[in-house]
Structure 1
């Protein structure tokens, strides 16, 4: 059976009330909106879900809520990254028990100086692999841990559950191309990230899809599907059309962009982000919405 991840896999934002408490009804609406965006799957509790601003109890509660509410309508990837291997393993077990399609993990790190070595990273991934749920390795600059292609290929070859990769480092296309060439059949799903800002080059390099945000994933998906169908001209045109909005998201807004779009579209009542994350400046938010309106994304009209 082909279990390759294809298309667009947006990260679900985590909504809060204006007082900073979790908006659980809003979380359900976010998930319903993502389903209606017509994407291929979704990811929860990732960096763009503000995972670093959630308590352990909140993470567990959100994992249960999201997997229960999605209820098989889309496959769900649960982020389980943690410096402690035992905690990463426990999170993987919970995700598996609740029906997640896969888990995603960064290398073990905690701050700028407490980082796992290449061997420690391999050992942690191997321990999670014993749980028996497919693993996506997230190669993100945030961890500060270097994941060279030979290490990624070793994981793919020696840890059966390592099947998917999210490559969002600098020069992602070159790394994806090398990973696909050296990993062969062991690299089942090479995806890119970074909101899809380098998506066209990454698709040319062999990416099967992208883990973007939930801002305009239906448009992102169209680029992927056109490219996969061999219509590169349509893929280039689609990419060029959405790139200004994605660039503004990537360079000016970060995870706040999807929340701003969903608030504007009535999906959520508040785009609050927990301190120390500052709110979007009014000018930055207005520029974002000005770039989004011509695209008429689902997120801008879902709740209206």
Structure 2
């Protein structure tokens, strides 16, 4: 088993809406309770798979307060705080810290396709958040379009006391994780992957200690991680092979809409609504997702029944 302080399955909570597009706050509590019952090691809120780009600033604060109050320390909570403006990121970090978040997660500064932080600006933004005094998880995701070379990440880990956690979900994530761990050594306290665990085995083999997936089947992905870290490679490979068709369908066809479809089917939430301009899943795509999930008998499909 890894001796690193952060490991396991830390999925992203979806943000439920009513059919009219308003926040479903009671549904949000049920989502969190379901995730805890799925045996997660931690929960991330307000991330891309939480539809953070479709949520107002006022709603962000409402959700941050609600989630941290409702989880109430049962598992650690990561609050995503990404923004192009450094003062806003710092303000969000302070709020998360003051409300009891364990970690904040952020992408490098970017806005649209053309406004991208330079390596030095990225370093400065993370350093400013580090001064807030809460652990930071850097999210290296294609959505930002910002190149984050390994030497920059290692410099950040070396020079920013709170910057020791890394979620790597760029193309060829395993190669980057391997290089990051090789160069950063013990400075890299949490080498995680993401992207629905579509490259999980390769990333674990490269040294990842955890994964940030969706909330769809963390109860089935968690054992894969634990088996792998315990040296039970055969069991990990078999477990991963069993769930991979569902993960592939989620990753390639559904995205963040998948967890909501599964949670509606299982009575966790009442609606799979996503705000415009996100379209609903095609009924056939949703039907195949459920067809792939049912033989796996994940908790999400029976939690609310």
Deviation at residue 3 of structure 1 after TM alignment: 6.7
SS of equivalent to 2:192: strand
Residue of structure 2 equivalent to 1:28? 29
Deviation at residue 163 of structure 1 after TM alignment = 1.3
- Aligned residues of 2:77 and 2:103 also touching (Cα < 8 A): yes
Quote the Cα distance in structure 1 between the aligned partners of 2:33 and 2:99: 18
Q: What secondary structure, in the 3-state scheme, does the structure 2 residue paired with 1:19 have?
A: coil
SS in 2 for 1:275: coil
Q: For residues 203-260 of structure 1, what are the alpha-carbon distances to aligned partners after superposition, in whole Å with 9 as ceiling and x for unaligned?
A: 0000001001000001110000000110000000011000000000000000000000
Tell me the equivalent position of 2:268. Answer: 267
Structure 1: distance between partners of 2:4 and 2:93: 19
Q: Which runs of 4+ in 1 moved over 6 A?
A: none
Aligned to 2:200: 199
Equivalence for 1:244: 245
- Counterpart CA distance in 1 for 2:38 and 2:247 is 17
Q: 2:142 maps to which residue? A: 141
What is the alpha-carbon distance in structure 2 between the residues aligned to residue 83 and residue 180 of structure 1? Answer: 28
Supply the distance in 2 between the matched residues of 1:23 and 1:218 (Cα, whole angstroms).
Answer: 24
What is the rounded CA distance, in whole Å, between the counterparts of 1:132 and 1:3 in structure 2? 20
Does the 8 Å CA contact 2:31/2:268 hold for their aligned counterparts? yes
Q: Is the Cα contact below 8 Å between 2:250 and 2:258 reproduced in 1? A: yes
Query: What TM-score does the superposition give when structure 1 sets the normalisation length?
Result: 0.99
Q: 2:202 aligns to what SS in structure 1?
A: helix
How many residues are matched? 303
Give the match for residue 86 of structure 2. 85
Shift of 1:93: 0.3
Q: Which residue of 2 aligns with 1:113?
A: 114
SS at match of 2:79: strand
Q: Which runs of 5+ in 2 are unaligned?
A: none
Q: Distance in 2 between matches of 1:39 and 1:30?
A: 12
Structure 1 residue 4: Cα displacement: 2.1
**2:154 corresponds to which residue?**
153
Confirm or deny: 8 A CA contact 2:4 2:209 kept in the other structure: no
1:55 and 2:56 aligned: yes
Q: Which runs of 5+ in 1 are unaligned?
A: none
